Amino acid sequence: MNASHSLPTWAPQLATFLRRTDEAQAVMWDDGQTEISVATLGAVDEHKLRAALEATLNAATEPHPKKEADVDGLRLRRLPEQHLLEKDKAGEAMATVWNWRRIPWPTPAEAAGLDEAEDGEWRWLAVLASLCGVFGIAGWIVDRFLSAPVWLPPTLYIIAMIAGGWDAAKDAGPNLLRGKLDIHFLMLAVALGASFIGAFGEGALLLFLFSMAGALEHFALYRTRREIHSLFKIAPKTACLIDQDTGEERTVGVDTIQTDDRLRIRPGDVFPVDGVVEQGDSAADEASLTGEAHPVGKGPGDEVYSGTLNLWGAVEIRCTRPASQSSLQKIIHLIQDARHLRAPSQRFTDRFGPKYTWGVLMATAIMFFVWWLGFGVAPFVNTDAGFSAFYRAMTLLVVASPCALVLSIPSAILAAIAWGARHGILFRGGAAIEGMAGVSAVALDKTGTLTTGDLRVVAVESFPAGREREVAERAYALEQKANHPIARAIVTYGEEQKLPLRTVAEFRSLTGKGVQAAVDAEQCLLGRREMLEEGPLREWARQLPPPPTGLSEVWFIQGTLLGRILLEDQIRPESAEVLQRLTRAGLQVIMLTGDREEAAQAVGRSLGGIDVRAGLSPEDKVAAIKDLHNMGQRVAMVGDGINDAPSLAAADIAVAMGARGSDAALEQSDLVLMDDKIENFFAAFQLSRRARRIIRQNITLSLGTIVLMVGAAMGGIVPITIGVLAHEGSTVLVCLNSLRLLK
């Protein structure tokens, strides 16, 4: 209920950022101060842009700007609920080609919605509510039981109302100056109106309950944001770098670490970047990243991830991704984005809120005259016949205020996001949660999703026989530049066999089929069997033996040399149980794969006989998703690779396997399952369904209370005290109900 709408103290630093950054043309920030949008021209390195902005904002704070002249050389303009600071030379014509980039500010923790001041805010609100309660009770006791001057009880009630309405006045004031009325204004208007008719006690009670509900609301948000904030606190700031020339160790900032740098990680240290263990043995606590409660063993060749804890052994790692592209930073960016992607139902309540407030005020004013002039009710003084028209109007104003309704959706959405983040499930906003709850069909990629994706070369064949090593060497050379599971398996095999690395030129990827390049100046192809069946060798290729059941294959062609590499993939132990649970929940489950029919059907049978569609290209997978849409299904697509990105984009809900997956898959995702845990998909589905139920409960409770109490207020049968209790009680219940999602 509290927000600041003034210009930030660091506005001059934004001006400095614009002057120093040629690519930046303008900056814009919202009144809630949750992010900065930067307008750029041309190609821009976003990581450098973000670093420059953060460095500027972290500089010493300058005085608060009083007018446009304080940001000399730039234009500062006020927009609806936003501020825009732009270069003078940037006109409207240039603005049409700007590329706006959202950048949370000034730290990831604050972008997540929780800074150090957040901890004390709900406590301060609780203190104000307590003061309101103490003085209100004192006024009631003096009025009822003590012989005191006539002015003392109203004075105590007024002090109580000042304490209880302080935060509401601070919020309502700036909005009122802009002609915007909100719930805070309604509560203050009712308390003031109650005082005019001598109902000081009712006014104090209203503001006590309103301020206490505000404190509880902030406490609920603090609890959920604290869950998310714990992810940001684990991000290390420094690391121990090993000089590759001298072997000396020195402490450096994490942002300076580059790919292939070597780092020393001691027991108890947090891994600062993603990397591969080069020396030493240990175990990592990955609970903060994946929700996995058990230590994960780490030895030479194993991957480690930023933000996870090295438990007992000193290890030396090689950086595979700089800090700005690490697993932890991906999570941070996903959560930052999630805060701005609101659920459809939440966007609806945001739109109707201001209009509803005006409607309540108009209805209250109209009803005052209806009761007074139409039904002959006394205008301002309660009589034996009933409450006055003004008293009834104040009661109507209280019970019609939509506090609980406004909180019903965002409180539940934020709690669900917080629970998911702590358990390896990252929702990209409220729309993802609501969308996931409405899914009726699930399409899953096979490799890396239902299987581990860690393929292993089990055999190399050549036709004619005897040239297996040539096939392996050339395939090893072709796959050096690729990063899909088959490529990783072939490269690992080549390294284990110590195969020589041949010269590769004219490399070209054949989307969904394979790769082509010149190896030692001879043209080579490596890819699926369909590549042979569609070429000049198709008649002969149809007579080739199929691979053994359970194995995948990739074919190699170079002139008269033909070869085949057989690979094995392991089904995840938990896949079958997860798919059975999804089926029992009433979802249609389909496996989409590019593998050949026999291998895919073998996997399908081992998973419980699910619907299998094999031999699909990326375009075929998109067509399969569209077929499900045509059948009236809402589809969630689960995948991990670059080739899954088109089908993820076509699905209603896109689910990426792991923040370590391909960037293309992550860009299309609505939901990310950390550590490639397929069982987390069912947990996410259950969480979404539960969140939807709680949202519906909250809306029913809040709307039901409003309808019931408005009806009672219109009939003049409910005192303002009961109206206050019903109104604020429903607000508290909505917050407490949403907190159940944290369990």
Helix (H) or strand (E) holding 430: helix 430-437
Segments in 497-632 forming alpha helices (H): 529-533, 538-541, 575-584, 597-606, 618-630
Rounded to whole angstroms, how far apart are CA atoms 403 and 1?
10
Of 677, 741, 687, nearest to 292 by C-alpha is 677
Rounded to whole angstroms, how far apart are CA atoms 479 and 517?
10
Q: CB within 8 A of 514, min separation 6: which ones?
A: 525, 526, 527, 528, 531, 554, 555
Q: Could you tell me the CA-to-CA distances from 60 to 107, 177, 218, 663 in Å, in that order?
A: 15, 31, 30, 36
Compute φ and ψ for 562, nearest 5 degrees: -125, 135
Query: Angle at Cα 55 formed by Cα 90 and Cα 252, nearest 5°?
Result: 145
Of 395, 13, 345, nearest to 193 by C-alpha is 395
Segments in 542-617 forming alpha helices (H): 575-584, 597-606
Q: Could you tell me the CA-to-CA distances from 238 to 182, 265, 271, 273, 711 in Å, in that order?
A: 46, 11, 10, 10, 62
Tokens of 2: 């509290």
Tokens of 455: 């393929």
Determine how many CB atoms are found less than 10 A away from the CB of residue 119: 13
Of 372, 385, 394, 373, nearest to 196 by C-alpha is 394
Tokens of 318: 């090689």
How does DSSP classify residue 141?
Answer: H
| Active site (annotated) includes residue 384 | no
Identified catalytic residue from 171, 445, 670, 675: 445
Packing angle of the helix pair 200-233, 327-338 (nearest 10 deg): 160
Rounded to whole angstroms, how far apart are CA atoms 617 and 595?
9
Helix (H) or strand (E) holding 459: strand 456-463
Q: CB–CB of 132/151 below 8 Å?
A: no
How many residues are recorded in the chain? 743
Q: CB within 8 A of 413, min separation 6: which ones?
A: 342, 343, 346, 429, 430, 433, 691, 695
Determine how many CB atoms are found less than 10 A away from the CB of residue 702: 24
Q: CB within 8 A of 519, min separation 6: which ones?
A: 474, 477, 478, 502, 503, 504, 558
Segments in 197-295 forming alpha helices (H): 200-233, 287-290
Active-site residue set: 445
